[in-house]
Structure 1
Amino acid sequence: MPIWAVIRHRGRKSGTAYETPIAVVPTTSSAIVMIGLPWGAHTNWARNVVAAGGATLRWKARDVEVVHPRIIDGAEAERLAKPAFRAVVKRFPAAIVLDRAAPPVE
């Protein structure tokens, strides 16, 4: 179960492109992606993603578009995480949850 990924986002003021390494927290729903924020909701990359309304993850050798980011607290993150990860994420002050964008229709 690979958890390591890179989130690609742009600076909310500068417009600079960034790539930030992150750990994806396995969730009970395949429709969402959750990333723990052990340093809190004011982490710059998370604020950039929220301001932009989404980002791109490079995860499992694929690009995954994620949209509708929202910051949640540790208790809600614990409810969304798979059982093996609940003890870890409930200690985080926050997490960011994003919806997987629908795949393009061909």
Structure 2
Amino acid sequence: MDFLTFKTFISTEILIIFYYLGAIFLPFITWILLKWAIKRYKLINTSYENIKESLWKTLSKKQQLKFLSFFIILFIFMEIFWRMLFEFLIAYMQIRDALLQI
């Protein structure tokens, strides 16, 4: 009953499980939803195909590599932010538990 009335918080073990689930599955789910939106909506599909063709034709190999590197770095920052978010939540839980024991 304490859990349902928010007198007891979710434990840090559950937060760690959600962190790993999100860190592993969130990029794949995002990719799948993006592919679905491209197939489902003609406007998005047309825009995507036009931009993809014109962008890759105008960029040199070095620029293409920089472009891909940018998105890889962006992905790494996203994963670091996800980690920091859960570290903050776990620290909050630990601080709260420490204050309740006083």
Query: Which has the larger Rg?
Result: 2
Q: Which protein is richer in strand relative to its size?
A: 1
TM-score (norm 2): 0.19
Q: State the TM-score, normalized to the length of structure 1.
A: 0.19
Higher RCO structure (Cα 8 Å, ≥6 apart)? 2
**Structure (1/2) with the larger helix percentage:** 2
